[in-house]
Amino acid sequence: MRLRIGTSTEADAGGALAAAARGALGASVSPAFALVFSTFDYPAEEVALAANEALGSTPWAGLVTAAILADGHVMRRGIAVGVLDCERLRVRVGAPEPSGNDARDIGRRAAREALAGMPLPPADRSRAMLLFADTKSRDAAEVVHGALSVAGAGIAWCGGGTGSLDPGGSAAQFANGRALRDHVVAVTLDCHARVGVGIKHGWQPTGPPAMVTRADGTLVEELEHRPAFDIYRAAAEEAGQQLDAEEFVRFAMSHPLGIPQADGEYLVRDPLALEEGGALRFLAGVPDGAIVRVMEGTPAMLVEAARAAAKMARKDVGAPVGGALVFDCISRYLMLGDRLQDELSACRGALGEDVPVLGCLTFGEIGAFGSRLPQFHNKTMVVLALPA
């Protein structure tokens, strides 16, 4: 398998997509699947129409993102097309119409649709599932739980959430030849050899643990029977800072919440807002009764985590790598700024400079620590390494 990548920064959506597709398809012998990433600068519906024309019968999916990561470059404007060139790759895309607000149900239905007609691969093959979920309309952690109940934990998982920094902005996914909103998109990839996954975030716990004593989905009202904001105020005071409501967003950017896992890792949750009564709103759900700790990190720690995730993915393949897909949290970019380029360079260096790499910024990431039990992460990098 080989990942073929084409990019364009043309102003016109149709022209940019056509140019990117030509770049990706030009060297392809057996195009089996295409990923399309577009920045917010292009109307999603125009991108979808152009992709249908340029890609023809090749199945494709993708999403709209704040920035594209393509072969060592950070594209803040443009369109990228990545073609998986392999005659032995089997692919199916699922993107059911939403019905109701049950996040687990739509996760189950997306995975079920992506697995229809796809028997379990034999021992010498490997299965991966890409999952894209809208984070504005539903709790993506619940979407992942639903998909897991259908697809199982023994496969490679990756993907992320779609969203917008603009409160009025409209994120979009691509599947079934259309631009979709408020959807969940699942893509099954049955590969000829083992697929590798690496996942790291680089955040470290600071301060004492606390128990969540009142929570409702993504809203944490109390920690240790006190307003949740108090734990952040105490953490700031330990660092010699006075924290008020106006300073919360800035402080929280570099101090997410961590939920300890059985293998010693921390599942990171990104605080979004301080609400009435000292409650905290997070991007994804925090379980009632969970033990949590405030986390801290530096740009250097995040860059090293990206390197470690790529090394993990390459080692997991255990063979030459034909390409890699990267899903990196937009909040890491907001913290790293221009050093996002350093993070991408570290990732490419660990994979091998000759390995094609395509990725994007996401609003939360989907991946699995160790046992391949997928979860919805925040402020994390996920790397999927594809066998050559």
pLDDT, position 90: 95
pLDDT in tens, 48-58: 999 999 999 99
Specify the pLDDT at position 184. 96
Q: Please report where in the chains the tokens 């057996």 appear, as a residue.
A: 30
- Residues in Cβ contact with 226 at an 8 Å cutoff, skipping those fewer than 6 apart: 278
pLDDT at 169 (0 to 100):
67
* Beta-strand pair 321-329/357-362: parallel
* 238-257 residues labelled b (16+ CB within 10 A) or e (exposed): eeeeebeeeebeebbebbbb
What are the residues whose beta carbons fall under 8 Å from the beta carbon of 270, sequence distance 6 or more?
Answer: 252, 256, 257, 282, 283, 284, 329, 331, 364, 378, 379
Q: With CA atoms as reference, report the closest residue to 325 among 17, 24, 35.
A: 35
Q: Match 């897991």 to its residue by tokens.
A: 148
Pick the CATH number of 204-296 from 2.40.128, 3.40.50, 1.20.120, 2.40.10: 2.40.10
Tens of pLDDT, residue by residue over 258-304, are 999 888 899 999 998 899 899 999 988 899 999 999 999 999 999 99
Q: What is the pLDDT of residue 232?
A: 86
181 φ, ψ to 5°? Answer: -130, 145
Band (pLDDT 50/70/90 cuts) for residue 353 is confident
pTM of the model: 0.94
Q: Domain-by-domain residue ranges, the chain?
A: 2-200+302-387, 204-296
Residue 145 has pLDDT above 80, yes or no: yes
Rounded-to-integer distance, Cα 218 and Cα 138, Å = 10
DSSP 51-103: HHHHHTTS-EEEEEES-EEETTEEESS-EEEEEEE-TT-EEEEE-PPP-SS-H
The pLDDT assigned to 153 comes to 87
- Give the rounded percent of residues in the chain with a pLDDT score beyond 90: 80
Mean pLDDT, the chain, integer: 93
Which residue is it, tokens 């999927």?
384
pLDDT digits (tens, 9 = 90+) for 81-105: 999 999 999 999 999 999 888 999 9
Burial of 363 (0-12, 13-18, 19+ CB in 10 A): buried
DSSP state of 152: -
Nearest to 357 by CA among 325, 321, 309: 325
Report H helices in the chain: 13-25, 44-55, 103-115, 140-151, 229-238, 245-253, 299-317, 330-336, 340-351
pLDDT score of 370: 63
